[in-house]
Amino acid sequence: MKRINTTHFAILGLLRIKPMSAYELVKFSKESIGLFWNESYGHIHKSIKQLELEGSVAVVEETETGRRKIVYGVTKQGCDQLDAWLALPPEESVMRNELLMKIFVSEERHIPQLVAFLEEELEASERMTAVLAGIKASVPSGNSRQGQLWLLTLDYGERYLRMTIEWCQHALALLQPSEKEKRE
């Protein structure tokens, strides 16, 4: 069975939150859903053009102040498509983690490089934890359901990062030589 192009639905969902240009979509997605969903500018731009041809999005604003800016909004047809997709059960997630693949297929001689990769992953996860804290602070306070849903996805990201940090620390402790091993 053919997989659904979920990028289109991600774009429709983000545009339902607020109209945006392709550049703003990329920026907004990195700042909000980037931990669990990311697309390149080129892929988003191509998808928007396809959605526009299908009538799912439309240009709502076009300005030219040195640089051409086209802002898109979701149409009624796009909202209906998004709602239909939201009612479907999620497809099976496809996990791809290059670091885990490298660890799995490495040999002992690769351990120094793996340690460097793990240290980089640990630092990146710690930085991302700080980014999420900033995003969390910017979510409108109150008891709105939309705010609760956004905070729920942030909570997943925070928990995932804590697990990643803990795992990297564990892996580094296993792979780095002890002081005794260094002397031998």
Query: Tokens in use for 18?
Result: 């607020």
| Residue 66 reports pLDDT greater than 90 | no
The residue type of 63 is T
The residue type of 31 is E
| Residue 178 reports pLDDT greater than 70 | no
Q: Where is pLDDT greater, at 120 or 157?
A: 120
The residue type of 159 is R
Q: What is the pLDDT of residue 18?
A: 92
Give the chain's mean pLDDT: 88
| Residue 55 reports pLDDT greater than 70 | yes
Average pLDDT over residues 21-34: 86
128 closest CA partner among 98, 159, 152, 151: 159
Gap between the Cα atoms of 74 and 113, Å rounded: 47
Span 67-115, pLDDT tens digits: 889 999 999 999 999 999 999 998 887 778 899 999 999 999 999 999 9
The residue type of 9 is F
Span 122-152, pLDDT tens digits: 999 999 999 888 888 887 777 788 888 888 9
What is the number of other CB atoms lying within 10 angstroms of the CB of residue 123?
12
